Homo-oligomer: A and B are copies of this chain.
Amino acid sequence: MVQIAVMGYGVVGSGVVEVLTTHTDHIAKRAKEEIGIKYILDLREFPDSPFADKFTKSFDDIINDPEVRVVVEVMGGLHPAFEYSMRCMEAGKSVVTSNKELVATKGAELLKVAQEKNVNFLFEASVGGGIPIIRPISQCLAANDVIEIAGILNGTTNFILTKMIHDSMDFQDALALAQKLGYAERNPAADVEGADACRKICILASLAFGRHVYPEQVHTEGITNISLADVEYAEQWGGVVKLIGRVKQMESGKLQIIVCPMFIPRESQLANVDDVFNGIMVRGDSTGDVVFYGKGAGKLPTASAVVADVIDCVKHFKARKYLFWGEGSPDYVEDYLDDKVSMYVRAHTDNEALALGNANHLLGKINHLTRKNAPAGEIAFVTETMPERAIVEKLKKLSELGVTIENTIRIGEL
């Protein structure tokens, strides 16, 4: 019997306890040992819980108990999750987490201590909920060079965009529906402004390319500026608007990495990833494109990924799982303005013909888009591919010529 502790009894924590207690035999068979929950750490009271005798408010109970060999960190937030995780590993306990903020911000430090102490630090559930992605990248694709990763990494924003695309709901109504259905928090900022997707692409990038990418290094845009007009233009262009996290390694070794809405072609395997689902494309030099698809969040999917990591810890007390990346550096990420991109532009003008002529003159051969019932003076087009810095400059010139730029969205040839 291996004893574990669960820190945090929120949605994921209670799910972990549920999965461990409802699949006991099945899990014991896979882990080749029974797994018992010795402590559940939470500051709240759960007097009616069937696990009431396991609750503690004191982290010391866990850290001082040599019987506890694996600690599940599902508290969320950076503090005290970081300090607790560090102390557990320093005390020789393996740590499993679903906390993407923790891994995206402190991953390199935590992995270093795991290596030094010869324990495991596993975090399959931090990206893609129940979709296996950390393991496939680190193991199955071990014989590949990963060239690029791109994905729909946030279910809440994908639900909102799906409602905008398929039901012509506007952003505010779709957000309200997502909140009503429990897909979005009352304060939805972390989702709709892209921070959640940013953390996930940081984790994937760090793992795939071997050095830590920090969230503040990633240019991040959310979906709050997306209008139904943009959705209609995307359709006329031949695709859909999706919030994409994307990373590529350049020949110099630096990374191009960004989180932003993109127009992606209808034929892309990511275009049909709808509702709260996630889809992650990993491009390897040998495998070509491999796509992983499933529910990226939710109590049981996430909990089952955590438990799978716990099983892996129990099976690998002797042979530590090799999951590692080193520290990053400020110059590891290319300035996104230097990336080459083609851009969709929606603007307002008093003279459409003149504005389009100027756009064509400034931005190369533009692809003019139209939509039914567009208000007078609205124009939209897609530029040629060029460094984003050049597009920004040229759009500035265009606005000096009396054209009001209302939105820009990058084209993602995925």
Contacts and interface: CB of A to CB of B under 8 A. Distances in A.
Nearest to A310: B143
A290 B293 contact: yes
A351 interface: no
A140 B292 contact: no
Given A23-B145, A26-B145, A301 B322 contact: no
A139 B312 contact: yes
Nearest to A301: B287
Interface centre among A130, A312, A318 (most CB of B within 10 A): A130
Most buried by B among A145, A288, A312: A288
Interface residues of A, number: 53
A290 B294 contact: yes
23 contacts: A20-B143, A26-B143, A27-B143, A30-B142, A130-B290, A131-B290, A132-B136, A135-B135, A140-B305, A140-B308, A141-B308, A142-B308, A142-B311, A142-B312, A143-B303, A143-B306, A144-B304, A284-B304, A286-B303, A287-B305, A290-B293, A291-B294, A316-B319
Interface in A304-331: 304-308, 310-312, 315-316, 318-319, 322
Given A23-B144, A129-B287, 17 more contacts: A20-B143, A31-B142, A130-B284, A131-B290, A136-B136, A139-B312, A140-B305, A142-B308, A142-B312, A143-B303, A269-B293, A286-B300, A287-B300, A287-B301, A289-B294, A289-B295, A316-B319
Contact of A143 (B272, B285, B304): B304
Contact of A23 (B139, B143, B305): B143
A57 interface: no
Interface of A: 19-20, 23, 26-27, 30-32, 124, 129-132, 135-136, 139-145, 269, 272, 284-295, 298, 300-301, 303-308, 310-312, 315-316, 318-319, 322
A136 to B, nearest CB: 4
B288 A301 contact: yes
Contacts of A288: 130, 294-295, 298, 300-301
A304 B285 CA distance: 9
A303 B293 CA distance: 24
7 closest pairs, A vs B, by CB? A132-B140, A130-B287, A143-B307, A286-B304, A290-B294, A291-B293, A319-B319
